[in-house]
């Protein structure tokens, strides 16, 4: 099914609340609360389309917007490619020019409103730091203290979303380490994820679980409830579709760039391959593999939501 491109806006007020609009009666998904926007016209860029849509629907003039994330959602009768953009500045006061109700809501309030199914993973992403910092293997450190000090240095550096990845440890070794990492993450008010068995992530009180490529491919149902975060490693379009069918929240897609000799897992995508796979992804995507936090604008320009990694996400 050919997808229809739709551009929509994240507009924030001075308190960080989001502007949502209620879809008018008689339209697809009537009554649902959405990010204001609409269908792109042929030959229109997403930035141009958003200017036109928000002038028509809200009577405001956007002076700046940039890409935030994209995803492709299959409804029963149509397929929508949603391009969500962050509006930096606008002129005028938003008014429901098509008779639609408007509301400024916090992310938490937005989560309680009926929204289109495509918007669920977008809301999830909006609550997260788009720089997902993955820990090095604890086995590479002389002792637990030096690993924990490395973990804390990333939190100190301001990363708000961190993943404990410790493939070389057994579950009984991992559990006490995870509890220490979790306590540190809480102290810095960061979200933290465990890359391990979902039951262990649950038991140590992590904000969510990250599924390795192997765990994803063996997964039959979303492993944690909707209020937790589930991310997964993907390399192919098939992996992305599987993560979408399972109702996961976000995915990493790798390897985008070279991760060093002998460490390659899967063919290198380059930014062009990343962009191509992102275009059909049902979930927001983070670029992984040879990328760093400074690649965020590039990842966003290619349709991704964020960047993930280890070595370039250090404290310096």
Ligand X SMILES: Nc1nc2c([nH]c(=O)n2[C@H]2C[C@H](O)[C@@H](COP(=O)(O)OP(=O)(O)OP(=O)(O)O)O2)c(=O)[nH]1
**Which stretch, 35-43, 66-74, 273-281, 286-294, contacts Mg ion (CB under 5 A)?**
35-43
Residue 74 has phi, psi (to 5 degrees) of: -95, 110
The residue number whose beta carbon is nearest to Mg ion equals 38
CB of residue 253 vs ligand X: minimum separation in angstroms? 22
Cis before 217 (ω within 30) = no
CB of residue 47 vs ligand X: minimum separation in angstroms? 15
CB of residue 242 vs ligand X: minimum separation in angstroms? 21
**Which stretch, 37-45, 188-196, 265-273, 300-308, contacts Mg ion (CB under 5 A)?**
37-45
Question: Which residue, 22 or 254, has its beta carbon nearer to Mg ion?
Answer: 22
Helix/strand/coil (H/E/C) assignment for every residue in 118-150: HHHHHHHHHCCCCEEEECCCHHHCCCHHHHHHH
**Cβ–Cβ < 8 Å for 4, 78:** yes
**38 binding Mg ion? (CB under 5 A):** yes
CB of residue 115 vs ligand X: minimum separation in angstroms? 7
116 contact choice in ligand X, Mg ion, none (CB below 5 to 8 Å, kind-dependent): ligand X
CB of residue 72 vs Mg ion: minimum separation in angstroms? 18
Residues near Mg ion (CB under 5 A), total:
1
Residue written as tokens 């609550």?
127
| Terminal C-alpha separation, the chain | 47
Within 109-255, strands assigned E span 131-134, 161-165, 191-195, 208-211, 229-234, 250-253
State how far the Cα of 140 lies from the Cα of 146, in Å rounded to an integer: 10
128 contact choice in Mg ion, ligand X, none (CB below 5 to 8 Å, kind-dependent): none
118 contact choice in Mg ion, ligand X, none (CB below 5 to 8 Å, kind-dependent): ligand X
Residues at the interface with ligand X (CB under 6 A): 6, 8, 27-29, 34-35, 37-39, 53, 73, 80, 82, 116, 118-119
Residue written as tokens 């063996």?
218
Helix or strand or coil: residue 75? coil
| Residue 215 parent element (H or E) | helix 213-218
The residue among 282, 286, 275 whose CA lies nearest residue 163 is 286
Question: Which residue, 78 or 187, has its beta carbon nearer to ligand X?
Answer: 78
CB of residue 8 vs ligand X: minimum separation in angstroms? 4
80 contact choice in ligand X, Mg ion, none (CB below 5 to 8 Å, kind-dependent): ligand X
**Cβ–Cβ < 8 Å for 120, 105:** no
Residues lying near Mg ion in the complex (CB under 5 A) are found at 38
């Amino acid at each position: 099914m050919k997808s229809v491109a739709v551009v929509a806006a994240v507009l924030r007020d001075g308190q960080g609340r989001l502007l949502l609009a209620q879809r008018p009666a008689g339209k697809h998904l009537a009554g649902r609360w959405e990010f204001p926007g609409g269908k792109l016209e042929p030959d229109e860029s997403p930035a141009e389309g958003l200017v036109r849509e928000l002038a028509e629907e809200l009577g405001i003039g956007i002076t700046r917007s940039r890409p935030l994330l994209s995803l492709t959602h299959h409804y029963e009768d149509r397929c929508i490619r949603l391009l969500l953009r962050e509006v930096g500045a606008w002129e005028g006061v938003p008014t429901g020019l098509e008779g639609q109700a408007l509301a400024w809501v916090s992310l938490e309030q937005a989560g309680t409103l009926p929204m289109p199914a495509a918007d669920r993973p977008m809301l999830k992403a909006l609550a997260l730091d788009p720089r997902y910092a993955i820990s090095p293997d604890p086995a590479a450190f002389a002792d637990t203290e030096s690993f924990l000090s490395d973990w804390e240095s990333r939190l100190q550096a301001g990363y708000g979303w961190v993943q404990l990845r410790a493939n070389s440890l057994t579950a009984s070794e991992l559990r006490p380490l995870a509890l220490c990492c979790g306590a540190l993450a809480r102290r810095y008010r960061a979200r933290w994820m465990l890359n391990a068995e979902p039951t262990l992530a649950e038991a140590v009180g992590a904000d969510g679980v990250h599924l390795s490529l192997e765990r994803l491919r063996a997964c039959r149902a979303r492993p944690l409830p909707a209020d937790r975060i589930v991310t997964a490693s993907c390399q192919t379009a098939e992996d992305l579709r599987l993560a979408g069918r399972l109702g996961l929240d976000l995915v990493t897609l790798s390897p985008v760039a070279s991760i060093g000799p002998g460490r390659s897992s899967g063919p290198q995508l380059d930014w062009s391959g990343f962009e191509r796979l992102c275009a059909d992804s049902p979930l927001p995507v983070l670029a992984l593999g040879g990328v760093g936090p400074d690649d965020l604008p590039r990842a966003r320009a290619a349709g991704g939501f964020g960047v993930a990694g280890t070595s370039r996400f250090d404290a310096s």
